[in-house]
């Protein structure tokens, strides 16, 4: 090895100086001992020999053991050649195993020895200046000062959670700043007692408190042989009591039956082409059954629960509206289907580069709006629920008659709604029950619009003694995971119904069951309200439950 003497010179550069040896020599990095120095042959020849030996004896042994198995010879009976082959196999394996680690181990040991004997000398440099974290950056420590900063606009209200790192404190400061900016008090709006961390980035932005809505229980609702206590969050008097009376009538008549007709969430983007001809080309491509399997694979990559079920297209000039329908498991599924649609649009861009995506939603879905497409095609869960109420129950519990109910339903829910030009509103008050259950179980309240599409039918049966009642609801949009379902109060209501979270064995079962419970509750509510109107009890009951006799002036003072 070549060891050269060179005088060490002081350096003004920011470099690491190699320490001199005791004799004044510096050992170059190229002269450090290597693992191959101990071998009698060059390293590449040694490696080649052991590699060849390892694979040769492995092949020999496998070939010999195969012959022994064919000839029924015991494997433990070894010949001299087989014993030698096993020894060579072990030796070559040990060498190859050591070869991959010896250089690393030896270099690590050598480095440690050099650092211990001769610690390196560094030119001292100032430490780098690291950026400060976002939390508490230029933020006063006193709450009063933070409030003043929010009021003056120095600190944006929406950034309080990220800067403070405390969601409750952020809501408290935002609340105080709001009162000072508006000059109006929010006293009476609760602040404490709510988990603000649970809504961050999920349910509500810039909170200043929470609204209390009482939750009542209607039931038991006997549906498909099972009993359910239905939570309803509402501020309307009579609603829970009326639904509860309907549940009583259904229970006394043997229960209701509910059938799921369809389960498919939809999303419909709008794309534009330079001509109507090109738009029709894509329409035919998407609706061709031969292309469906390919599109399904692309769509289903968005989630392990997303399953594309169908594609329906409508054209308006050179604009194409594509309505995707898919299963979404126990989630309501809007985000899931949107991701799948985006995957398909990206895929189609390769074959249709002139396609201009105007929007991921073109209102052909249709979400949070009354639309005939949801009334006809369905969206979310499509269900039908029925029950036969005996004449005795109609008389004793509902305080009316079968004939009066049938006539009122025809003139009010069917003919009256037609005169009004109703769209999916052929019912008495389905939205009342749907909204109350939605709020209690953490659903999107705005989706009450299409979820309340309902037609209520009543018909006299068994020679006019009993009445057959049914509700058909084509677009109940519910989920048991995601969104508001994860909040503690709403999660407790879902747990009461036995549909909390995702179903482990059968994904989608919990959300489908929740949809049937909604429909069964609507059936109970329709039955009771129609009976109250028929018997002339509506005004009397609302005056009793919707009008308080308490002296509000004394409470206010």
- Out of 412, 444, 459, 468, which one is annotated catalytic? 444
Return the DSSP state at 513.
Answer: H
**Whether the Cβ atoms of residue 274 and residue 352 lie closer than 8 Å to each other:** no
Is 142 annotated in the active site? no
Q: How far apart are CA 436 and CA 448, in angstroms?
A: 10
Q: What is the DSSP letter of 262?
A: E
Q: Are 440 and 490 in contact (CB under 8 A)?
A: yes
Beta partners for residue 271, in sequence order: 320, 357
Give dist(CA 182, CA 17) in Å, integer.
67
Alpha carbon dihedral 224, 225, 228, 232, in 10-degree steps, equals: 30
Task: Give start and end residues of each alpha helix (H) in 266-333.
Answer: 276-287, 289-300
Residue pair 157/150 in contact (Cβ under 8 Å)? The answer is yes
Whether residue 444 lies in the annotated active site? yes
**One of 236, 281, 386, 407 is an active-site residue; which one?**
236
Is position 368 annotated as part of the catalytic site?
Answer: yes
Q: Is 173 helix (H, G, I), strand (E, B) or coil?
A: helix
Residue pair 243/521 in contact by the 8 Å Cβ criterion: yes
Sequence-distant (≥ 6) Cβ neighbours of residue 224 within 8 angstroms? 255, 256, 257, 258, 516
Catalytic residue among 68, 399, 468, 542: 542
Question: Sign of torsion, CA 343 345 348 354?
Answer: negative
Q: Which residue, 456, 330, 327, 470, is CA-closest to 389?
A: 470
Return phi, psi of residue 463, to 5°.
60, 35
> How many whole angstroms separate alpha carbon 270 and alpha carbon 357?
6
The rounded distance, in Å, linking the Cα atoms of 159 and 153 is 11
| Phi, psi of 8, rounded to the nearest 5 degrees | -85, 135
Pick the catalytic residue: 368, 399, 412, 468? 368
- Tell me whether residue 236 is one of the annotated catalytic residues: yes
Which sequence positions are flagged as catalytic?
236, 368, 444, 542
């Amino acid at each position: 090895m070549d060891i050269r003497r060179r005088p060490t010179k002081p350096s003004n550069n920011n470099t690491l100086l190699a320490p001199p040896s005791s004799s004044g020599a510096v050992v170059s990095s190229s002269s450090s001992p290597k693992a191959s120095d101990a071998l009698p042959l060059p390293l590449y020849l040694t490696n080649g020999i052991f590699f060849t030996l390892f694979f040769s004896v492995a092949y020999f042994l496998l070939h010999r053991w195969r012959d022994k198995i064919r000839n029924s010879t015991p494997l433990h009976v070894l010949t001299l050649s087989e014993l030698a082959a096993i020894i060579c196999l072990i030796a070559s394996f040990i060498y190859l195993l050591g070869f991959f680690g010896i250089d690393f181990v030896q270099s690590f040991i050598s480095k440690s020895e050099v650092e211990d004997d001769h610690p390196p000398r560094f030119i001292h440099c100032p430490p780098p200046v690291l950026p400060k974290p976002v939390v508490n950056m230029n933020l006063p420590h006193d709450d009063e000062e933070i409030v003043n900063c929010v009021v003056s606009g120095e600190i944006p209200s929406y950034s309080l959670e990220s800067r403070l790192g405390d969601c409750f404190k952020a809501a408290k400061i935002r609340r105080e700043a709001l009162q000072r900016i508006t000059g109006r008090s929010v006293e009476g709006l609760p602040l404490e007692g709510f988990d603000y961390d649970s809504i961050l980035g999920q349910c509500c932005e810039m909170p200043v408190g929470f609204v209390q809505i009482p939750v009542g229980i209607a039931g038991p609702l006997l549906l498909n042989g099972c009993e359910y206590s239905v939570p309803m969050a509402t501020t309307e008097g009579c609603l829970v009591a009326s639904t509860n009376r309907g549940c009583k009538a259904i229970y006394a008549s043997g229960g209701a039956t509910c059938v799921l007709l369809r389960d498919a969430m939809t999303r419909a983007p709008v794309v534009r082409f330079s001509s109507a001809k090109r738009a029709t080309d894509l329409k035919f491509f998407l609706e061709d059954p031969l292309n469906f399997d390919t599109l399904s694979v692309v769509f289903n990559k968005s989630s392990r629960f997303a399953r594309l079920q169908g594609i329906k297209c409508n054209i308006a000039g050179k604009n194409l509206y594509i309505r995707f329908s898919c299963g979404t498991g126990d989630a309501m599924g809007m985000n899931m289907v949107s991701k799948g649609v985006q995957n398909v649009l990206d895929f189609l861009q390769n074959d249709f580069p002139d396609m201009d995506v105007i929007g991921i939603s073109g209102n052909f879905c249709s979400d949070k709006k009354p639309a005939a497409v949801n009334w006809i095609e369905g969206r979310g869960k499509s269900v039908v629920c029925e029950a036969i109420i005996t004449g005795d129950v109609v008389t004793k519990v509902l305080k009316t008659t079968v004939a009066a109910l049938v006539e009122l339903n025809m003139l009010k829910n069917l003919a009256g709604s037609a005169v009004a030009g109703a769209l999916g509103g052929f019912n008495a008050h389905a939205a009342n029950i749907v909204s109350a259950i939605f709020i209690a179980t953490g659903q999107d309240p705005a989706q009450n619009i299409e979820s309340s599409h309902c037609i209520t039918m009543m018909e006299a049966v068994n020679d006019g003694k009993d009445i057959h009642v049914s509700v058909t609801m084509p677009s109940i949009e519910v989920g048991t995971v995601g969104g508001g379902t994860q909040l503690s109060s709403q999660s407790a209501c879902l747990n009461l119904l036995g549909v909390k979270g995702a179903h482990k064995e059968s994904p989608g079962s919990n959300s489908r069951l929740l949809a049937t419970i909604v429909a069964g509750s609507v059936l109970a509510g329709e039955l009771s309200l129609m009976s109250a109107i028929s018997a002339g009890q509506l005004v009397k009951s609302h005056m009793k439950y919707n009008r308080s006799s308490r002296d509000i002036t004394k409470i206010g003072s």
